[in-house]
Amino acid sequence: MRVDVLTLFPEAFEGPMTTSMMWKARDRGLLDLHLHNIRDHSTDKHRAVDDTPYGGGGGMLMKVDVIANAIEAVKDTDQTPVIYLSPQGRLFSHAIAAELAQHPRLIFLCGHYEGIDERAVDLLITDMISIGDYVLTGGELAAMVVIDAVTRQLPGVLGAEGAHERDSHADGLLEGPHYTRPQNFRGLEVPEVLQRGHHAEIETWRREQAIRRTWRNRPELLFKAVLSEDERYLLAKIALDEGSLSR
Ligand code: ADE
């Protein structure tokens, strides 16, 4: 997948995009990342990229002509999503990451200051994404979050085939706990079922743990999760066991 990022701070991507899985994906040619400095598209002799808003109100806005130049310099076809990272966008999720991973190419626009001239949204942006209900200083961290989550979905990026399908959220539930050696640490034992190594038993146990953890930490996810009849029964038992007041 080719990803173009338009930003005032290309250097912000240095660490996260040159480390671990992101670096491996780039090294193997699975993620072809291009960083572009929006300031290079200013036509102003002072290389200005922002201006004061009409109507007053303080703060500065990124200029529509500069944004248009920056996007048009990288855009190939109308099929390529042009995604603006903004707290006003649709809330990012596993499902959106999977949807974006289907595209051969994505363009991200990172905002700064108070935001961007609305005409850039009207004319050039095809999607707006928020990574949560809080305001960041700029879109760079949000773009990196989205790029990381999308890259994990690309075939060949994670070692084991289908490993991303076992991630938390992939089936609407959180993942249960995992353990490695030592078998006993400060009196805490690895659950016996995992030590016995009976495959079907382990699968049932893991599913139960996933439901239990989702009930405890993100109960609202259970409204949408696909559960079998047995699992619904189990959920009712967990809810009774744990009681809503003790959470
Ligand atoms: N830019 C500033 N805050 C943001 C958020 N919560 N999500 C995406 N982009 C942002």
How do residues 184-243 score in pLDDT, each as one tens digit?
Answer: 999 999 999 999 999 999 999 999 999 999 999 999 999 999 999 999 999 999 999 887
pLDDT digits (tens, 9 = 90+) for 225-240: 999 999 999 999 999 9
Which residue bears the tokens 């879109």? Answer: 139
Question: Is the CATH number of domain 184-242 2.30.40.10?
Answer: no
- Please give the pLDDT value at position 161: 66
Which residue bears the tokens 């090294």? Answer: 27
CA 215 to CA 231: how far, in whole Å?
12
**What residues are annotated to the active site?**
87, 114, 152, 167
CA 15 to CA 19: how far, in whole Å?
6
- List b or e across 124-138, with b for residues whose CB sees 16 or more CB atoms inside 10 angstroms: bbebbbbbeeeebeb
pTM score = 0.93
Cα–Cα nearest to 1, from 140, 74, 73, 103: 103
For ligand 1, what atom is nearest to the CA of residue 133? 6
For ligand 1, what atom is nearest to the CA of residue 129? 8
CA 128 to CA 151: how far, in whole Å?
19
For residue 21, the CA-to-ligand 1 centroid distance in Å is 23
CATH fold label, 2-151: Alpha/beta knot (3.40.1280)
For residue 93, the CA-to-ligand 1 centroid distance in Å is 14
pLDDT digits (tens, 9 = 90+) for 79-134: 999 999 999 999 999 999 999 999 999 999 999 888 999 999 999 999 999 999 99
CA 241 to CA 14: how far, in whole Å?
48
Rounded to the nearest 10 degrees, how much is the dihedral formed by the CA atoms of 89, 91, 97, 100?
Answer: -30
Q: Where are the domain boundaries for CATH 1.10.1270.20 in the chain?
A: 184-242
The amino acid occupying position 183 is Q
CB contact at 8 A, 48 and 8:
no
